[in-house]
Amino acid sequence: MKRRYLIVAVVAVALVGLALWLFPSPPDDYVEQPAGGTASAELLERGRVLARLANCHACHTARGGEPFAGGRAIPTEFGTFYSPNITPDAGTGIGGWTEREFWRALHVGISRDGSLLYPAFPYPSFTKITQDDAHALWEYLKTVKPVSRRPEPHTLRFPYNYRPLLRVWRALYFQPGGYKPDAAQSASWNRGAYLAEGVAHCNLCHVPRTGLGGPDSSARGRGANVLGWYAPALDRPTEAGLQNWSTDEIIGLLHSGRGTSAATLGPMAEVVYESVQHAPRADVEAIATYLKALPDASSASPPRERKSPAAEVVAPILDRGGTVYKDRCATCHGDAGEGRPPAALALAKNRAVTMDSAINMIRVVLYGGYTPGTAGNPQPFGMPPFAQDLSDQQIADVINFVRTSWGNEGSFIRSDEVLRARTGPLW
């Protein structure tokens, strides 16, 4: 055992040395900001909006903790990350940082002490942020309440806890550089691309990942597993693609968390609540313009083939599932899955029901589904949890019934998939 760890350590050191030689630290391209007095109200408001769109408050605030003081646990397959304190406290926050050091963290993922930041902090997206916007964000963060709170250390598994290995990850997956506008696109599209790809870092969740956690460019049309949920593909209309939606429908969903045919649940509900609902309409419209124009990747990523049970097994499954549905679900969702707006969305011909991945549906049946309380959705309806009332087999049965009824063409799931979903973050 010791010999194996020694071999792994030697290989790791060799890889880091190779990465240091082939991929040195990126140059410091910071342009010194002119010295000035108190930031203007306009600049501070711009920074506040950017902080909301970047979801800084949600990530850097522990449940029940002081805003921006860090401590939020972010569980991943590599271990648990804890967000740092970004209040202007000089001892434990960023009060002792310079603006150059702040820019370096955002733009190239290097901390004040020169250590490499883990990409759980989305600097691969934030590198697109302009220095002017970074300046506004910096000035705004200087105005939040300083809080003395030392960050918890990450609890990562070996070898991911060996930070120098990030050199290898960066060599494979990270290229610093600002957003480059597309001259062939409109100003609104470019603004939306800048916000979605950079500030709001949508691709952090919606782009599939390799085994090392880097973006998998070969998997177009696929979403990603995030925090025990599935972030559906934004470039596939059968998942979360918005190519066939009107701009107003997209704005309504992003601003309120609920639309006429869709609702945000799980981690995305938090994104709407903490972030997007607070964005100016013009920015949300720009994001909508960009998302609506994404090329359809359906042909690049055909549905996954999943084996269905034998014909003699299907009938009993659907019979049992239909009984559970009639007893537990039909009152709200209708006898034929037609829904009871605004309390319950239709399940018939609902793409959230028939996606290749059924994990979101499993999570909602287990733990309930709750849209965010927003200005556009001030009294959100919620679905109760059934984890305490239904067995894994009953939940699998009712999900199979819904995924294959009323014109739905989803694949079957097994009870062990439900069992595995009974752990992890609930959101």
User: Of 187, 76, 59, which Cα lies nearest the Cα of 123?
Assistant: 59
Task: Determine the average pLDDT of the residues in 179-186.
Answer: 96
Confidence label for 313 from pLDDT (cuts 50, 70 and 90)? confident
Classify 311-420 by CATH class. mainly alpha
Question: What percentage of the chain exceeds 70 in pLDDT?
Answer: 89
Q: Name the burial class of residue 111, with classes exposed (0-12), middle (13-18) and buried (19+) by CB atoms within 10 angstroms of its CB.
A: middle
Question: Domain extents for the chain?
Answer: 37-173, 187-292, 311-420
Task: Determine the average pLDDT of the residues in 270-297.
Answer: 95
Confidence label for 21 from pLDDT (cuts 50, 70 and 90)? very low
187-292 maps to which CATH number?
1.10.760
Is the pLDDT confidence value at 407 over 70?
Answer: yes
> Average pLDDT of the chain?
90
Higher pLDDT, 33 or 282: 282
pLDDT for position 28: 61
Confidence label for 218 from pLDDT (cuts 50, 70 and 90)? confident
Q: Does the fold of domain 311-420 match that of domain 187-292?
A: yes
3-class SS of residue 251: helix
Task: Determine the average pLDDT of the residues in 237-262.
Answer: 93
Is the pLDDT confidence value at 147 over 70?
Answer: yes
User: Of 376, 196, 398, 384, which Cα lies nearest the Cα of 292?
Assistant: 196
Q: Among 66-75, 98-107, 259-268, which is the least confidently predicted range?
A: 259-268
Contact status, residue 87 vs residue 66, Cβ threshold 8 Å = yes
Task: Determine the average pLDDT of the residues in 114-131.
Answer: 96
Architecture of domain 37-173: Orthogonal Bundle (1.10)
pLDDT for position 7: 54
- Name the most confidently modeled range: 122-126, 158-162, 421-425: 122-126
Which pTM value belongs to this model? 0.89
Confidence label for 310 from pLDDT (cuts 50, 70 and 90)? confident
Is the pLDDT confidence value at 321 over 80?
Answer: yes
Contact status, residue 161 vs residue 79, Cβ threshold 8 Å = yes
